[in-house]
């Protein structure tokens, strides 16, 4: 672990680059531990990954978690989290944490959102219905109080499809807000309210237009030397093929080599594997736990729906090739089918354990392939496998 006692919030080193793709393996050094990349970050939206306690997450191989600034600012409030010593103490997670900006959640309020140059006003219809005002400075204050190792700038995330002028406006506004977030973060000494170092990532927007993506990237580079860059505004309604038309050249050819690249809100196995091939280092998504709660899992044979009657008499594991505690612990498909059909919470917990482990192990194997210089073969093998049928 790198020494962060002198206040360096984050550093990134590349340990291997695949010769046939843009994939790379690295290490993200944070105040709460080192994170091998590429990596998937389970999402603890409200300071908990649904159904999974921190010791379980560690046992599954989790290296870094994500929490949501919007939801935590609403309940229990960033001030209370700060009072309790920050997110690490509050949720009893000793490893690295990233908090998103909450921008996606804010702008998902649609007709209840009003944007101006200074910030955004929205009605919290998913809570108590009151009107909330956020500026970039407010957003950074929330991030500091939450106390994560990595915070994200406040940005505007346009949905798909959106008219080009709307996307252009989002790029310009996100760029100006990035500057204000950086200045607020700098005034605070790049420290959380608990006095720990905190890194701030910028976010590249631009919809499905590569020239707007490049414009957004250049704006961020003109603002500051952000230690890492998020890629927002994907997985907002477009197909994966449409997404990769711009994501592949953006990550593989245009973004700086020396900084971690974080594709926000994407989490099905095939997209992760393809994203790594484009040069993405970090991913997050609620998909593994959300699909588990509906009775579905990822596997080497593709998406499996445990609600289906064909599993009722199946005495085998979820996935014979999986080393997770569920697949190696004797839990049969028949038992898991029973739990899911009866809506027992144990079913959602066990399936969540499997899904989170599956993605973490997939990224572990991807990293090994990159270090071995054979990621192209790994990628082709995955795409040709039954596991790639994960929709």
Q: Quick one: tokens of 16?
A: 């291997």
116 SS3 class: coil
Burial (CB < 10 A; 0-12, 13-18, 19+), residue 9, is: buried
Distances (CA, A) of 129 to 69, 74, 109, 119, 123: 18, 11, 11, 19, 6
Distances (CA, A) of 38 to 55, 76, 234, 300, 389: 22, 32, 19, 20, 21
CA–CA separation, 258 and 37 (whole Å): 13
Check 82, 100, 141, 319 and give the catalytic one.
100
Active site residue 284: yes
Active site residue 319: no
CA–CA separation, 384 and 329 (whole Å): 29
Distances (CA, A) of 96 to 35, 41, 168: 8, 10, 34
Check 149, 284, 319, 390 and give the catalytic one.
284
CA–CA separation, 329 and 339 (whole Å): 16
Q: Which residues are catalytic?
A: 100, 284
């Amino acid at each position: 672990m790198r020494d962060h006692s002198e206040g360096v919030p984050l550093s990134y080193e590349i340990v291997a680059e695949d010769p046939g793709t843009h994939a790379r393996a690295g290490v993200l050094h944070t105040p709460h531990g080192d994170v091998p990349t590429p990596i998937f970050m389970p999402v603890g939206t409200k300071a908990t990954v649904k159904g999974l306690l921190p010791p379980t997450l560690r046992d599954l191989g989790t290296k870094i978690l994500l929490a949501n600034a919007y939801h935590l600012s609403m309940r229990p409030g960033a001030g209370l989290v700060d009072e309790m010593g920050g997110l690490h103490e509050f949720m009893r997670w000793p490893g690295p944490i990233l908090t998103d900006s909450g921008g996606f959640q804010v702008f998902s309020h649609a007709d209840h959102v009003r944007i101006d140059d200074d910030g955004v006003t929205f009605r919290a219809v998913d809570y108590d219905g009151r009107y909330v005002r956020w500026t970039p400075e407010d957003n950074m204050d929330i991030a500091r109080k939450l106390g994560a190792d990595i915070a994200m700038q406040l940005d505007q995330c346009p949905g798909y499809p959106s008219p080009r002028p709307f996307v252009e406006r989002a790029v310009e506004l996100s760029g100006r807000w990035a500057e204000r977030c950086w200045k607020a973060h700098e005034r605070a000494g790049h420290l959380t309210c608990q006095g720990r170092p905190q890194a701030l990532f910028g976010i590249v927007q631009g919809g499905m237009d590569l020239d707007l993506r490049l414009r957004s990237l250049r704006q961020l580079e003109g603002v500051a030397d952000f230690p890492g860059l998020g890629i927002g505004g994907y997985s907002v309604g477009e197909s994966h093929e449409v997404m990769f038309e711009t994501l592949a050249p953006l990550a593989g050819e245009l973004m700086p080599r020396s900084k971690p690249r974080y594709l926000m809100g994407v989490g099905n196995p095939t997209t992760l594997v393809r994203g790594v091939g484009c040069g993405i280092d970090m991913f997050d998504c609620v998909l593994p736990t959300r699909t588990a709660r509906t009775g579905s899992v990822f596997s080497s044979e593709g998406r499996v729906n445990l609600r289906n009657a064909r599993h009722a008499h199946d005495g085998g594991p979820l996935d014979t090739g999986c080393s997770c505690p569920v697949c190696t612990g004797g839990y049969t498909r028949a038992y898991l089918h029973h739990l899911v059909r009866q809506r027992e919470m144990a079913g959602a917990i066990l399936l969540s354990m499997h899904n989170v482990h599956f993605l973490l192990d997939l990224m572990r194997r991807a990293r090994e392939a990159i270090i071995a210089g054979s990621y192209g073969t790994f990628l082709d093998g995955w795409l040709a496998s039954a596991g790639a049928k994960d929709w």
